[in-house]
Amino acid sequence: MAQAQLPLETPLSLPGHPKAWKWYDYFTFNVDHKVIGIQYLVTAFIFYLIGGLMAVAMRTELATADSDFLNPNLYNAFMTNHGTIMIFFWVVPAAIGGFGNYLVPLMIGARDMAFPRLNALAFWLNPPAGALLLASFLFGGAQAGWTAYPPLSTITATTAQSMWILAIVLVGTSSILGAVNFIVTIWKMKVPSMRWNQLPLFCWAMLATSLLALVSTPVLAVGLILLLFDINFGTSFYRPDAGGNVIIYQHLFWFYSHPAVYLMILPIFGIMSEVIPVHARKPIFGYQAIAYSSLAICCVGLFVWVHHMFTSGTPPWMRMFFTISTLIVAVPTGVKIFSWVATLWGGKIRLNSAMLFAIGLLSMFVLGGLSGVTLGTAPVDIHVHDTYYVVAHFHYVLFGGSVFGLYAGIYHWFPKITGRLLDERLGILHFVLTFIGTNLTFLPMHELGLKGMPRRVAMYDPQFEPINFICTIGAFVLAFSIIPFLINVLWSWNKGKIAGDNPWGGLSLEWTTSSPPPIENWEVLPVVTKGPYDYGIEQRKGSTNENEEE
């Protein structure tokens, strides 16, 4: 707890601070952005395993049509908490809290975030929230889905539901505090020599993400607090028999929770824009287009939420307006995809684990994006809303997209974070298993939904049994795919090959410091002399030895 007792004004500048953190520092209220980043990543990964186990239990149940493995209420509790954990306790904290905190100051040449203690506070809201969520299983677990629509959420397992709400409000607060920190840090703390068009794309993505989190999260908090009042204090905001209205909740909820999708994918887009150029040995194609498309997604993304409510209590004009706004989001997203593909062209692509996951993401996100377009149009959505088609779509985007991106990021920056390389053979095995498992699990779900299987069911029409069985096998492959990864990380962290400062020949600032970086990142702050993706540019000028970066 040494850091917590430091004076308020200059938490990091006391003479005689330690050269490097000890293992127990990672369990304290440490204000170093790198410690906080690792705290987020490790905590989130533990929750990923918990949420994954819930998914395996659900897929086991769904191997047969009858409800014969889990009690249906427990199934719903797993389904609810699987979604909640994967969104609020894995992807969001790992991508924003983990990579965001670790990388943003390093990439912009800062010694820390703008508000280090606020940063630590934001992290330390997460463990109690997670504990609250897990403790809710003592009361049956919330069972109304991660969407928690009233009236179901107001009459089902209400104690667990209240704990669920408090947990979400806690992580939401953490998310808002984090957003404030990122906005101020990126806006104000770039090293003076870095121009805006030299800002790494990951930081652009984090800026867009933080703006979204800042304006959307509080609205979710309001929706959930009103729900909490309905459940516990006898109010009737969402009680139709007492003058309330259930649709208001849906609007408040989706006003946040559609942007939440972008909270989960924009930082991943940022990771993609860092990983691909380094391993393709090429400048990123269309830097400005990628940077501005993040901001475009962020703006348009705030006005598409009703596409989750096309079959709900929404009048025709609303269904049409939001069909069109939803379709528009496809354009900036497409620009990013095309730009990454173009970055591959003419490169010298290193097919290591990080790059394989990035390319895997690219290929699966295309499918997720295209099915998203079909879902965005009201006529087709009316048929497939709340079916396995939707489940297939968002797992392609969130698993094939976000989780693959997180893996790519881990393989890419693990050497920077730990100073050691991950084992490539295990990494490639991990990729192959994950890629097969993902497609085996989620591709057949498209057909299930189109043919008539609703989502969130513990028992279903026996005609869908064969396809479901394939999905279940895929889920087991996915569960198994974690094993080589875990072995790899645990082994390499202690015994892996020493990485050196810049194993990939990266040009962005985080590669200018040692691996792992010292406590304040640099002895002497670097001076930016060229862009973060200027691969091959010196070579073209014929002025430098091409091996300089190695």
Partner 1 sequence: MQGTIDSQTTAITADHGHEHPDFRVLGLLVFLISESLMFGGLFAAYLLLRGMHAQWPPEGTEVELLVPTINTLLLLSSSFVIHYGDVAIKRDDVRSMRKWYWITAAMGAVFLGGQVYEYLTLGYGLRTNVFANCFYVMTGFHGLHVFVGILLILGVIWRSRRPGHYSAQKHTGVTMAEIYWHFVDVIWIILFTLLYILTRF
Partner 2 sequence: MGFSGRFGTMEQIPAPIWTLTAGIVVTLISFWVGQHHGLLPEQASEQAPLVDNFFNIMLTIGTALFLVVQGAILLFVIRYRRRPGDEGDGLPIEENLPLEVFWTAIPALIVIFLGIYSVDIFQRMGGLNPGDHTLHTMHTPEQAVAVVAEAPSKTTSDATALLAAAPTPEIGIGASPDVQGKAPDVVVDVTGMQYAWIFTYPDSGIVSGELHIPVGKDVQLNLSARDVIHSFWVPQFRLKQDAIPGVPTELRFKATKVGTYPVICAELCGGYHGAMRTQVIVHTPEDFEAWRTQNQVTATAPVISSLSDRHIEEIGVTPQLVAQVEAMTHHHSPDKL
Which residues ranging from 168 to 207 are in contact with partner 1 (CB under 8 A)? 176-177, 179-181, 183-184, 187-189, 191-193, 198
Those residues with Cβ within 8 angstroms of residue 486's Cβ, 6 or more apart along the chain or in another chain: none
Task: Assess contact for 310 and 382: CB atoms under 8 A.
Answer: yes
Tokens of 315: 């009048």
Q: Which is nearer to partner 2, 35 or 278 (CB)?
A: 278
C-alpha dihedral, 3 to 7 to 11 to 15, nearest 10°:
-90
316 binds, among partner 1, partner 2, none (CB under 5 to 8 A by kind): partner 2
295 binds partner 1 (CB under 8 A): no
Shortest Cβ 59–partner 1 spacing (Å):
36
Cα(254)–Cα(245) distance, rounded to whole angstroms?
15
Residue of 317, 524, 545, 547 that binds partner 1 (CB under 8 A): 524
- Nearer of residues 215 and 327 to partner 2, judged by Cβ: 327
Rg over alpha carbons for the chain, rounded to the nearest Å, is 23
Specify the residue, 96 or 344, whose C-beta has the smaller distance to partner 2. 344
Name the nearest CA neighbour of 274 among 4, 472, 533, 89.
Answer: 533
Q: Is 261 in the site for partner 1 (CB under 8 A)?
A: no
**C-beta of 235 vs 363, nearer to partner 1:** 235
3-state SS of 439-462 is HHHHHHHHHHHHHCCECCCCCCCH
Q: Give the tokens for residue 436.
A: 């097969």
Of 135 and 189, the one with the shorter C-beta distance to partner 1 is 189
- Site for partner 1 contains 537 (CB under 8 A): no
User: Which CA distances in Å does 344 have to 190, 267, 284, 403, 539?
Assistant: 29, 20, 9, 21, 18
Answer for the pair 246, 193: CB distance below 8 angstroms, yes or no.
no
248 binds, among partner 1, partner 2, none (CB under 5 to 8 A by kind): partner 1
Give the nearer residue to partner 1 in terms of CB position, either 244 or 415: 244
Give which of partner 1, partner 2, none residue 251 binds (C-beta under 5 to 8 Å, depending on kind): partner 1
192: cis peptide before it, omega within 30°?
A: no
The set of residues, in sequence order, having a beta carbon less than 8 Å from that of 22 and lying 6+ positions away, is: none
Out of partner 1, partner 2, none, what residue 519 binds, judged by CB under 5 to 8 A for its kind, is none
Least gap, CB of 522 to partner 1 (angstroms): 7
| Partner from partner 1, partner 2, none binding residue 13, C-beta < 5-8 Å depending on class | partner 1
151 contact choice in partner 1, partner 2, none (CB below 5 to 8 Å, kind-dependent): partner 2
- 233 belongs to the binding site for partner 1 (CB under 8 A): yes
Work out which of 58, 171, 206, 252 binds partner 1, going by CB under 8 A: 252
Contact 404, 276 (CB under 8 A): no
Both tokens assigned to 423? 């084992």
Q: How far is the CB of 528 from partner 2 (least distance, A)?
A: 17
Regarding 214 and contact with partner 1 (CB under 8 A), the answer is: yes
